[in-house]
Amino acid sequence: MGFGIKLEVWGDYALFTRPEMKVERVSYDVITPSAARGLIEAIYWKPAIKWVIDKIHVYNKIQFTNIRRNEVSGKISKSNAKALMDGTGTVDFINTNELRQQRAALVLKDVRYIIEAHFEMTGRAGEEDTVEKHYNIALRRMRTGQCYHTPCFGCREFPANFKLIEEDIKPSYLGEQDLGFMLYDMDFSDTENIFPVFFRAKMINGVIDLKNIEKVG
């Protein structure tokens, strides 16, 4: 198993929003690498490590359903939030009663994946931060079901169940499917110029292999 992990995740609903849909939310066909990373970080994350998704195994048939969700039509501006953090602004809030809207969403249902991932040490690692230390802590938390906050499938109202897989992964289903361009992750290398990174997702025999993919900024 090395210093990688295999995590099975499943749930009733999932919503991995396509960024090109501006108003009504429409999910990608499968979990995105950034959503998979966020799910693992909900279980174990430290500034000293960075999780990298290697493979996504899709086990259940891809199924969609329509739901209606309550959302708000506004958001707190970046300048107001920064002023509050600096102590120079006034308290700002969103009145959900006044700004509530009902919007349709095309979501996934009955999802189950196995995520293969590993972590890399970052520049914020200290002398006491070793690969073995963080690996063993991550394994313990995944075995016992511990998490910092409830992992979710894209939205907090769609919680994810999880368990550590410590045996060989069974194959899901045969066939090849081109899922088109999908969000890989956000590039935070320049905090003044954060931008999305995409890749061409191809699922072969139920597996999306994310190693050596061509990324498009």
Output the domain CATH number for residue 180: 3.30.70.2660
Give the number of domains in the chain.
Answer: 1
In a domain, 125, yes or no: yes
User: pTM for this structure?
Assistant: 0.86
Of 15, 7, 26, residue with least CA distance to 113: 7
What is the average pLDDT across 102-131?
A: 93
In a domain, 133, yes or no: yes
In a domain, 47, yes or no: yes
| The predicted structure's pLDDT at residue 1 | 41
Of 15, 33, 181, 31, residue with least CA distance to 104: 15
Write the DSSP symbol of residue 105: E
Measure the CA–CA gap between 105 and 160, rounded to whole angstroms.
19
In a domain, 181, yes or no: yes
In a domain, 79, yes or no: no
Encode pLDDT of 119-131 as tens digits.
999 998 988 999 9
Mean pLDDT computed over every residue of the chain? 91
| The predicted structure's pLDDT at residue 91 | 65
Q: In this model, does residue 146 exceed pLDDT 50?
A: yes
166 SS3 class? coil
| The predicted structure's pLDDT at residue 160 | 98
In a domain, 98, yes or no: no
Q: In this model, does residue 215 exceed pLDDT 70?
A: yes
Write the DSSP symbol of residue 15: -
Give me the residue label for tokens 């999908």.
182
- Give the structural domain span for 56: 4-66+105-216
What is the average pLDDT across 207-217?
A: 92
In a domain, 72, yes or no: no
- Count CB neighbours of 55 within 10 A: 19
| The predicted structure's pLDDT at residue 80 | 79
| The predicted structure's pLDDT at residue 6 | 97
Of 38, 181, 11, residue with least CA distance to 108: 11
Of 65, 73, 75, 144, residue with least CA distance to 104: 65
Of 3, 9, 6, 1, residue with least CA distance to 158: 9
| Measured CA distances, 141 to 33, 44, 125, 128 (Å) | 21, 7, 20, 19
Band (pLDDT 50/70/90 cuts) for residue 2 is low
Encode pLDDT of 23-62 as tens digits.
789 999 999 999 999 999 999 999 999 999 999 999 999 9
